[in-house]
Structure 1
Amino acid sequence: MQVLDHNPSLEPRIHRNPPLLPRLRERFEQKFMAHWQSQWGGKPILHGRNPGSESIRLDGNDYLGLSGNPDIVRAQMASLQHSNESVIQSGVFLLDAHPCRTLEASLAAWVGKEDGFVCQSGYSANVGLLQAIADEQTPVYLDSLAHTSLWEGVRAARAPAYAFRHNDPAHLSRMIARHGPGVVVVDSVYSTTGALCPLREMVEVVEQHGCTILVDESHSLGTHGPQGAGLCAELGLTDRVHFITASLAKAFAGRAGFFTIPAELRYYVLHNSYPNIFSSCLLPHEIAGLAATLEVVKRSDAERVRLHANTRRLRASLSEIGYPIHQGSQQIIALEAGTEPATMVLRDHLEERQIFGAIFCAPATSRNRAMVRLTLNAGLTGSEMDRIEQTAKELAPVLKPWDWPIAKRARTEQV
C-alpha cells in the first residue's frame, strides 16, 4: 500500500488575531456586547428574515422603480463591451473631455446650476463640499435631523457646528443672530421621517442674515420638481440656493453622489475636497449608466405621479388606523416604535406577513427613537398597497401604535 507524504499545506488553517488594545476591548465588551445582549437579544438588530418572491420590499430607495430599466442596462452593457481606453485614477485628474465631466455638466444644467462634481457617494459629496466651503472661523447651522454625512462634513472642516430645532426657521434666525453669519445646512426631505423642509422660509432667513445655504436633495432629486429636478426647482428657489447636494443611490438607483458649485470655484474645490482628491473616479459603465438614468428620470412624470399617489394613500390609511406618522409627509414613512426591542418586535410582525421595511436606530436616530422605515416606490401595485394596509390594520390591536412614545408626546403637545 502506498503511503502518501504528509502535506501540512492541505490541512485547515486556524486563523488567529493578535491581542486588541485594552481600550478597544473595553469599549467592545462594555458598550457594544452589553447592548447586544440586553437590547438586541444576541442578534443583529438590522437583520431579520430573508425576503422571498412574494415579499413586498419597502426597504430600498429606488423611488421611481428604475432598477433594470432597459435603456439604463443597455448603456451600461455598451460601456462594458466597448470602453477600453479608460484610466482608473483620482477624479481630480479627469480632463474636460472625459465622460464624467459631461455627466457633471448635464446634472448641473438639469438642476439649474453652473457646474458640479460627481463623486463616490452622497456621503462623500457632503463631506467634500463642506470641507471646502467651511473652516474653523465659519459657523455651520444644521437642522437637528440633518443627515449624518452633513455633520461629518462639518467635522472634517473643523467648523463650529450649531444645531437648530427641526424645521424651525425662527430658531435658526435666533441662532445666527447669536453666533454670526455662516453656512446653513438642511435636507429637502428628511431621510428618517419623510418630513418636508420649509425651504422657502429657510432661504428667507439665510438672505436676511447674509448666510450661505446648502440643501441636500437626496430624497427629492428625481421625485420632485419639473422633470424631477428637485424641491429647489419645484419652489423656484434654485437661484437663491448656493449649493445642492444629492446621493444618486436613491431615485437614480445608482452608486454615486453629486454636488453643485459656482463655476469659479471648480479648481478651488478640487484642491480642498479630500473625498474628491483621494477617491478614484467612477467606472466607465457607472458613468454611462448614470447618464442614461438622467434621461430616464427626466421623462418619468408618470412614475412621479404614482409615487406621490401611493404616498398620499398609505399615509392617509395608516393615520386613520392610528399609526402616529404625523412627523412626515413624503414617500418615507417612519413607524417609530421607540425602544429598540419594541422596534424589533414591530419588524418581526411585519416580516412574518412578508412586508419588509428597514430598522433605523442610533446612531441614525436619537436614542430610544428607533423605527421601522418604509420607503414607497412608483412600482407598488394596487394589490400590494391593499396588502400593506390590511397588514397594518391587523397588527394595530397587537402593536397598539397609539401607545408608542411618539403618539403620547403628540397628545401632550396638543394639550
Structure 2
Amino acid sequence: MTTLGMLELAAPKDPPLNPALRARIQRDFAPRWEGHWGGKFVLHGSQPGPNAVRLDGNDYLSVTGHPDIVSAQVAALTRNTEFVVQSGVFLLAQHPSRAFELEMANWVGKEDALVCQSGYSANVGLLQAIANADTPVYIDTMAHTSLWEGAHAARAPASPFRHNDPDHLDRVLAKKGPGVVVVDSVYSTTGALCPLREMVEVVEKHGAMILVDESHSLGTHGPRGAGLCAELGLTDRVHFITASLAKAMAGRAGFFTMPASMRYYVLSSSFPNIFSSCLLPHEVAGLRATVGVLQRADAQRERLMAITRRLRASISDMGYPIHQGTEQIIALEAGTEPETMRLRDELEARGVFGAIFCAPATSRNRAMVRLTLSAALTEAEIEHIEAVLREVAPIVQPWEWPIARRARAGAAD
C-alpha cells in the first residue's frame, strides 16, 4: 500500500491533513517506505523466541530484576502514598529525588546533579542553560542527537569537529574562540572510546568548557562504575557530566552534574526540567538501589570487558569491519538500509537479535546492526553468536561493505 493510501485509511477517524504535510510525507518518507523498506518499518524484524540471544538492549551488567532493586521498588509502591505528581522544580530537599541527585553527584565525583525524565532531556536542558546565541558549541560529528538538539535549543552556533580528533578541535577552537565542547565518552552507535585526556587538554588550552555524555560508560567503566572521567582521573577537569539512566542503570531517567552554585539558575532556565513531571517514587527508589548494585559490580564489569575483547577479536577475524569501536557496543555497518535489513534478517533467522540503526541515528547510507553485549552472556550464547556470524559472513560479505572498502583505501594511501 502506498503512503498516501495509508493516509486515506486514516481519514474516517481524523480530519484531512494539511496538503503541505501530505506533500512532505510523500516526498520525504514515501520513497523510503515503499522503496528501501519494502513497505515495513525498518526497525521491526521478527519476534525473538525463547532461545534467542538478545543483543538489542543496553542493560550491560544485567541488573534488571535484581532483588535489591525490585524490593526497593515494591516498598515504594506499597508504602509511599503521599506524593504529588508535579514538575521536578517544585520538589523540596526532603523529597527522595534530592537524595538521589546527591548520591549520583557523589558517585561520579561532582558537587551537585539534577535528575530529569531522560538522557535526551538532560542534554537538551543542560545545554539550553549553559549556552546561548553568543556561545559556540563544538560537537563531535558522532555525538548523540540530543547534544545537537541541545545546541539548537540554546540557539547556539554549533560547529562540528571530526570524530575523536583533538587536533581538529584545536584548530576549530583557535579559529572561533572558546565555548562549550561536547563529546560522548563511549559513542552509542560504534562503541568508539573518546580520547578524553587529549580533548580536555585542548579545552583547557583555549579556556573553553567541556560536557561529557557518559551514558554508555556510567556503570561499566571506572572505579565502582563511576565512568570514564573517573577512570582517567579527569573528573575535576571536566565541567559537566551527563548520562541516560536507561543503559547500565536499566531505568528510565537522565541526569547531569553542575556546580552547586548553578542549581537554582538551572531550575529557572532549563525547559525540560521546568516543563516535565518528576520521577515517581518507585522509579527513584529503584534507581537509588541500582546505584548500590552497580557500585558492587566489579566482577560483572570485568566479565563484560572480557566478553567484549573476545567477541571483537573473533568477529574481526571473520572479516567484519568493526575497527571503528573498541567497547561493548559493536557496529555491523552494512551501509544501505536494504543491505542492513538483509543482515538483520539473516541473523534473526539464526536466533541472534541486534538492533538496526539508520538515519537519523546514523549518517545516510551508514546503517548498521548494532550488537550490545552484556555480562550475563553465557559461554553457550557467546559460541552461538560466533557460529552465526561465521555462517552469515559468506552470505552478506562484510569485507565488501563500504566501510571495509574505505578502510582498505585509507590503508593504501
2:315 paired residue number: 318
Other-structure match for 1:355: 352
**Quick check: 1:329 aligned with 2:326?**
yes
2:297 to 297, 300, 308: 300
The Cα offsets for residues 242-297 of structure 1, whole Å up to 9 and x where unpaired, read as 00000000000000001001000000000010000000000000000000000000
Structure 1 position 15, deviation (Å): 4.5
Letter in 1 for 2:145: T
1:290 aligns with 2:287: yes
Letter of the structure 2 residue corresponding to residue 342 of structure 1: E
Indicate yes or no: 2:193 matched with 1:196.
yes
Structure 1's consecutive aligned runs of 4 or more residues displaced over 4 angstroms after TM superposition are none
Provide the C-alpha distance between the structure 1 equivalents of 2:33 and 2:160, rounded to a whole number of angstroms: 30
Amino acid in the other structure paired with 2:377: L
Post-superposition offset of 1:220: 0.1
- Which residue, out of 382, 387, 399, partners 1:385? 382
The one-letter code sitting in structure 1 at the alignment partner of 2:389 is A
One-letter amino acid of the structure 1 residue matched with residue 61 of structure 2: L
Matching residue of 2:364: 367
What per-residue deviation string (whole Å, max 9, x for no partner) do you get for residues 48-71 of structure 1?
000011000000000000011010
1:74 and 2:71 are equivalent in the alignment: yes
How far is 1:89 from its partner?
0.6
2:48 is equivalent to residue 51 of structure 1: yes
Deviation digits for residues 20-78 of structure 1, max 9, x if unmatched?
11110001112111211111111110000000110000000000000110100000000
Q: Which amino acid aligns with 1:208?
A: K
1:133-282 correspondence runs (5 A):
133-282=130-279
Q: Within 2, Cα distance between the matches of 1:109 and 1:81?
A: 29
- Alpha-carbon separation, structure 1, partners of 2:124 and 2:174: 26
| Aligned counterparts, 1:90-109, within 5 A | 90-109=87-106
- TM-score relative to the length of structure 2: 0.97
1:271 aligned counterpart, secondary structure: helix
Deviation at 1:105? 0.2
Please, which of 126, 139, 163 is the counterpart of residue 123 of structure 2? Answer: 126
**2:21 corresponds to which residue?**
24
Q: Which residue of 2 aligns with 1:9?
A: none
Larger radius of gyration: 1
Paired amino acid for 2:73: Q
Return the alpha-carbon distance in structure 2 between the equivalents of residues 333 and 84 of structure 1.
43
1:404 corresponds to which residue? 401
For 1:65, the aligned partner's letter is S
Identity of aligned residues (%): 70
| Number of equivalences | 402
| 1:311 Cα offset (Å) | 0.4
- SS of residue matched to 2:29: helix
1:17 deviates by 1.3
Cα distance in 1 for partners of 2:221, 2:32 equals 40
Q: Which runs of 5+ in 2 are unaligned?
A: 1-10
| Other structure's SS at 1:96 match | coil
In structure 1, the partner of 2:7 is none
Residue of structure 2 in register with 1:10 after alignment: none
Q: TM (normalized to structure 1)?
A: 0.96
Counterpart CA distance in 1 for 2:362 and 2:350 is: 26
Report the 3-state secondary structure (helix = DSSP H, G, I; strand = E; otherwise coil) of the residue aligned with 1:325.
coil
Distance in 1, Cα, partners of 2:19 & 2:199 = 47
Aligned position for 1:8:
none
User: Quick one: distance in 2 between partners of 1:353 and 1:70?
Assistant: 32
228-237 vs 26-35, greater mean Cα deviation: 26-35
Partner of 1:6: none
Shift of 1:16: 2.1
Structure 2: distance between partners of 1:275 and 1:30: 32
Q: Which whole-Å CA distance do the structure 1 matches of 2:15 and 2:91 have between them?
A: 42
